[in-house]
């Protein structure tokens, strides 16, 4: 069992790698991850990151999501499902906080 403080610390660390990713793009990715799991969600994000029909800002966001979450994948998959959902939510809040400080 992971404590809330540990989840928040991990969220802060992950969010640093996601600088520039909008909360909206992150929330879209979360929906896929919650429905289909992290591996399929990362595959989906990778496809969008290199899709020529996707706008440049979105492509960059999905590239950052793939690159960052690949580094933390082993830690995320060890979490229980409800802990992973909390982590994703904490990351969303960190993205909002980062945007306010930019």
Q: How do the pLDDT tens digits run along the chain, 102 residues long? A: 789 999 999 999 999 999 989 999 999 999 999 999 999 999 999 999 999 999 999 999 999 999 999 999 999 999 999 999 999 999 999 999 987 765
Give the model's pLDDT for residue 99.
78
Give the model's pLDDT for residue 44.
96
Residue 97 makes CB contacts below 8 A (sequence gap 6+) with none
Give the model's pLDDT for residue 102.
55
Residue 56 makes CB contacts below 8 A (sequence gap 6+) with none
State the burial class of residue 26 (Cβ atoms within 10 Å of its Cβ: 0-12, 13-18, 19+): buried
Q: How many H-runs (helices) and E-runs (strands) does the chain carry?
A: 5, 0
Give the model's pLDDT for residue 10.
97
Domain boundaries, the chain: 4-101
Give the model's pLDDT for residue 1.
79
């Amino acid at each position: 069992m992971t404590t809330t403080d540990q989840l928040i610390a991990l969220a802060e660390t992950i969010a640093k790698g996601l600088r520039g990713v909008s909360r909206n793009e992150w929330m879209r990715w979360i929906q896929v991850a919650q429905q289909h799991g992290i591996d399929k969600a990362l595959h989906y994000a990778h496809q969008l990151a290199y899709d020529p029909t996707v706008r440049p800002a979105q492509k960059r966001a999905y590239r950052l999501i793939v690159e960052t979450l690949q580094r933390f994948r082993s830690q995320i998959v060890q979490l229980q499902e409800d802990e992973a959902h909390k982590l994703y939510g904490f990351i969303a809040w960190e993205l909002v906080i980062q945007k306010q400080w930019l």
